[in-house]
Amino acid sequence: MAVAIIKKLLRLVLLLFAVSLLTFLLVSMSPVDPVRAYIGADMLLVSPEQRELIEAYWGLDQSLFTQYLQWISSILSGDFGTSLIHRVPVMDVIADRFFSSILLIALAWLMSGILGIVLGSIAAMKKGTWIDRFIKGYCYLLLSTPGFWLGILLMMVFSVWLGIFPTGLSAPIGITTSEVTFADRLYHAILPALTLSIIGVANVCLHTREKLLDVLKTAYILQARANGYAGIRLFMRHGLRNMLLPAISVHFASFGELFGGAIIAEQVFSYPGLGQAVVDAGLQGDMPLFLAIVLISAIFVFVGNWIADILYLVLDPRLRKGGSRS
């Protein structure tokens, strides 16, 4: 186990290095001028000499290699720089929005996982029936549905027409941060999380269905049927525990898709999370904030895959003995 953890940490370091280098190069080739983005509407009042001083202050007058080395050394020392948009340290911006994004992603992850496993199990147990065809068609429809369109539709129905949920933001308007309760944040996160979870159901459902169908073809299931087990009794005693681990592991590995979907959901609902921050940073040339969020999202996805691997090692004795996944 210790060797596996060390290997994972080395992979994480290599991943972060590759992601940081590639992202830095892509951002450096962006047509967005960071100096103009930093100054804003007062750019016409800035003389060429003042622009050169600003570039020298931010290190933009140096080579890309030197800029990258300085940025990496600053990160290793715990300094992620200052956001050009918000005029505050990058970590303060991330800390302010981190909880909102985690709450949104956690809600979507739980709802899509539970609903996906339930629907996938029903489809597998009712294979070939109209129920199975309906659930598969529902999943295929979700896979082809744009997330932004679904979010706008849910907003129109539940916020504009019915007035059940707010149209956006992560807290009520007109109150201070100290007055915002967890219930307020949860209430504002439900509709964006519902948008994410509805789309995320499809992959979990289809994977659960296929895995459970494989389980139902095994010899011990045939023996259980011969012993009189059927329906919900067969599923609860033999099917559930054998398909649940792969389904949960795949769901943990879907953190990357959830984070990508959260960016769209946060834009649609004006939800102030990391997804909205990274879009603003990219459009306005805030390189320090953009690069920091990209690195954090890479760690987030890596941790999700790592948890999936750990679940296999802990719960599947065949892997601990040197076997392979089925």
Say yes or no to pLDDT of 324 above 70: no
In a domain, residue 324? The reply is: no
Q: In the structure, what pLDDT confidence band is assigned to residue 168 with cuts at 50, 70 and 90?
A: confident
- CATH code, domain with 252: 1.10.3720.10
User: Can you give the residue range of the structural domain that contains 214?
Assistant: 89-319
In this structure, the answer to whether residues 83 and 98 fall within a common structural domain is no
Predicted confidence at residue 217, as pLDDT, reads 80
**Percent of the chain whose predicted confidence (pLDDT) is above 90:** 6
Q: In the structure, what pLDDT confidence band is assigned to residue 263 with cuts at 50, 70 and 90?
A: confident
Question: Considering 37, 55, 88, which residue would you say is the last residue of a domain?
Answer: 88
Tens of pLDDT, residues 131-145: 999 999 989 998 888
In a domain, residue 33? The reply is: yes
Tens of pLDDT, residues 48-57: 888 888 778 7
Question: Considering 47, 67, 88, which residue would you say is the last residue of a domain?
Answer: 88
Rounded Cα–Cα distance for residues 239 and 171 (Å): 42
Question: DSSP secondary-structure letter at 88?
Answer: S
Say yes or no to pLDDT of 13 above 90: no
In this structure, the answer to whether residues 300 and 310 fall within a common structural domain is yes
Tokens of 243: 């398909």
**3-class DSSP assignment, residue 89:** strand
In a domain, residue 326? The reply is: no
Predicted confidence at residue 318, as pLDDT, reads 59
In this structure, the answer to whether residues 19 and 66 fall within a common structural domain is yes
In this structure, the answer to whether residues 144 and 293 fall within a common structural domain is yes
In a domain, residue 325? The reply is: no
> Residue 323: phi, psi to the nearest 5?
-85, -165
In this structure, the answer to whether residues 129 and 76 fall within a common structural domain is no
In a domain, residue 108? The reply is: yes
Predicted confidence at residue 10, as pLDDT, reads 87
Predicted confidence at residue 67, as pLDDT, reads 83
Average pLDDT over residues 162-176: 82
Contact criterion met (CB below 8 Å) for 189 and 104: yes
84 to each of 45, 270, 302, how far by Cα in Å?
18, 21, 28
In this structure, the answer to whether residues 37 and 142 fall within a common structural domain is no
In this structure, the answer to whether residues 164 and 197 fall within a common structural domain is yes
Q: Which residue has the tokens 């890309």?
A: 64
In a domain, residue 35? The reply is: yes
In this structure, the answer to whether residues 47 and 83 fall within a common structural domain is yes
Predicted confidence at residue 87, as pLDDT, reads 81
24 to each of 82, 181, 275, 285, 291, how far by Cα in Å?
16, 38, 18, 12, 7
Predicted confidence at residue 42, as pLDDT, reads 72
> Which tops the pLDDT comparison, 182 or 35?
182
Q: In the structure, what pLDDT confidence band is assigned to residue 1 with cuts at 50, 70 and 90?
A: low
Say yes or no to pLDDT of 319 above 70: no
Tens of pLDDT, residues 46-84: 788 888 887 787 777 788 888 888 888 888 888 888 887
In a domain, residue 232? The reply is: yes
In a domain, residue 209? The reply is: yes
Predicted confidence at residue 326, as pLDDT, reads 46
Neighbour-count burial for 153-173, b at 16+ CB within 10 Å, e otherwise:
ebbeebbeeeeebbebebbee
Question: Considering 34, 66, 88, which residue would you say is the last residue of a domain?
Answer: 88
In this structure, the answer to whether residues 56 and 184 fall within a common structural domain is no
Residues 6+ apart with CB under 8 A from 98: 274
Residues 6+ apart with CB under 8 A from 290: 23, 27, 278, 281, 282
In this structure, the answer to whether residues 77 and 220 fall within a common structural domain is no
Is the torsion defined by CA of 70, 75, 77, 81 positive or negative?
Answer: positive
In this structure, the answer to whether residues 25 and 136 fall within a common structural domain is no
Contact criterion met (CB below 8 Å) for 100 and 185: yes
Whole-number average pLDDT of the chain:
82
Of the listed ranges 97-111, 232-246, 306-320, the least confidently predicted one is 306-320
3-state helix, strand, coil in the chain (%, to 5): 80, 0, 20
| pTM score of the predicted model | 0.79
Domain count across the chain:
2
In this structure, the answer to whether residues 56 and 108 fall within a common structural domain is no
